[in-house]
Amino acid sequence: MISIAAGLAILWAVYVLGLKNFDYASEEKRLKRKQQIKQEGLSTSFYFLPAKRLLFWEILSGGLFIFYWAYKLWQAVLHGYKNTSGKSLRFGPLVRSIFVGISIYQLTGIINRTCVYMRKIPAFPPWLWGTALWGGAVAAMLPMIPGGWRVLGAVFCLTTPYVLQTHINTLPKELPPTRIKIMEIIVLLISWCVWAATVWAYGKYVLGK
């Protein structure tokens, strides 16, 4: 538990200290950054739901809800993606959600650039949240890693979508209505079935030998 607390404290400290570097004081610097953002690309469309509900679904689904979240978010982002460089994003939301451990880096970059453009506080750099997502997931699933570190890995993995969604929800002046959708419940039920099948297969074909 000490290692878990230490890891969370480090992440919190980096987050708080990072906010001090968030500077809009120079108008010239801000306009230059806006032009750069337009060149790199941002999105006018995002998937909205309460961040706490997202975290709750993640926990209840054993982390599998992340794939649905990534699909819906990429579906919205690709619909509203704009840039002045003329470059289009390859692959659709399904492929990007399946390989969310890779696409999370680009997704975080788009979210951050949109936040800066809208004069909102961005999340940490993509390398941090991308690594936290897939690195935490890998650490949580490796049985040879001590239990405390596995729990810490799960915390990092589940925290990443939560933090990103928190920043996304600051973009509109008022958060759109976000009632619980039937599909969210269906994804939750599918997740339970997947985990039940995984446990059964592990017990039968691995422990049974």
43-59 residue pLDDT tens:
999 999 999 999 999 99
108-122 residue pLDDT tens:
999 999 999 998 999
Q: Would you say residue 79 has pLDDT above 70?
A: yes
Q: What is the DSSP code string of 125-177?
A: -HHHHHHHHHHHHHHHH-TTS-HHHHHHHHHHHHHHHHHHHHHHTTSSSSPPP
**Residue 91 has what pLDDT?**
93
Q: How confident is the model at residue 36 (pLDDT cuts 50, 70, 90)?
A: confident
121-165 residue pLDDT tens:
999 999 999 999 999 999 998 888 888 999 999 999 999 999 999
Mean pLDDT in residue range 83-95: 89
Mention every residue, 6+ apart, whose C-beta is less than 8 A from residue 185: none
In one-letter notation, the amino acid at residue 48 is F
**Residue 189 has what pLDDT?**
97
CA distance 157 to 182: 25
**Residue 177 has what pLDDT?**
82
Q: How confident is the model at residue 20 (pLDDT cuts 50, 70, 90)?
A: very low
Mean pLDDT in residue range 6-15: 56
Could you state, in order of their start, the residue ranges of all structural domains in the chain? 2-205
**Residue 6 has what pLDDT?**
57
Name which of 31, 170, 155 is nearest 111 in CA terms.
170
Mean pLDDT in residue range 99-107: 96
Give, in order, the Cα–Cα distances in Å from 129 to each of 25, 35, 82, 144, 205.
Answer: 27, 25, 23, 24, 35
**What are the phi and psi torsion angles at 43 (to 5°)?**
-130, 145
178-202 residue pLDDT tens:
889 999 999 999 999 999 999 888 7
**Residue 7 has what pLDDT?**
57
Mean pLDDT in residue range 73-79: 96
